[in-house]
Amino acid sequence: MFNFVVYLNSMCATFDFTEKQIQILLVAETLFADKGFEGTSIRTIAKEAKINIAMVSYYFGSKERLLESLIFYRTKDLKIEIENLLVEDLEPIAKINKLIALYINRINSNKGIFRILHFEMATQKKELNIKSFYDLRKSNLKSLEAIISEGQDKGVFRKDISIPLLTPTILGTFFHFYMNKEYFMDILQLPTEDSYNNYITVDLTKHIQQTIKALLIYES
């Protein structure tokens, strides 16, 4: 049994998960997103996934490593998606807009894992092996830098832009909106789930695009 766990851990960077493992990951994802990592027990996961409680330890080694696996599983193909955008033949501002839309759409259709990341990153869990996620962020930052440089070379964007601060503005705005769902549904009078989601993909996306555009080309 112990050997199997080691195998899983060393190989998960290259190999995929089995159907059974994915089933557990998906259940864990929604529960972690709803109740938080600490707030979700292995027994609840097991009951929801209709498996024995021992199976979680058996497949992933521990609860912490289950979370690691989940993060890896959900973020492994985001890097490629961003990099594909770079080579497209678009104006810099159009590229930025597409990047923003891609981010929001991506996060919005994977609400669970990003909520978890947002949460559990903040609580000190230094043992967490989320290097893959850390690398992903650096890579995404590099992609963003490339687009901005292109725009600066073409004379469209300002020269004095703090690129690392663009991500907090893009993602932060989205997350704050998303984390305070109830409040904004009330304030903006969005009675249904659908109207709320629609507001995100249309109005909020537009707002963020407009914000970044203003920041990139407006001369003070």
- Which listed option, a second copy, DNA, none, makes contact with residue 218 (CB within 5 to 8 Å by class)? a second copy
Q: Which residue among 187, 191, 192, 194 contacts a second copy (CB under 8 A)?
A: 187
* CB burial of residue 85 (10 Å; 0-12, 13-18, 19+): middle
Size of the site for DNA (CB under 7 A): 21
Residue with tokens 């193909």: 77
Helix ranges, the chain (H): 2-11, 19-35, 42-48, 54-60, 63-75, 78-86, 92-108, 111-122, 131-153, 166-179, 181-187, 193-199, 205-217
123 interacts with DNA by CB under 7 A: no
Report which of 92, 86, 89, 98 is spatially closest to residue 217, judged by C-alpha positions. Answer: 92
**Is the CB of 43 or the CB of 206 nearer to DNA?**
43
Please say which residue, 22 or 51, places its beta carbon nearer to DNA. Answer: 51
Scanning 52-60, 111-119, 179-187, 193-201 for contacts with DNA by CB under 7 A, the matching segment is 52-60
| C-alpha 25 chain-centroid distance | 16
Write out the residues near a second copy by the rule CB under 8 A. 34-36, 38-39, 115, 118-119, 121-124, 134, 137-138, 141, 162, 164-165, 167-169, 171-177, 179-180, 183-184, 187-188, 203-204, 207-208, 210-211, 213-215, 218, 220
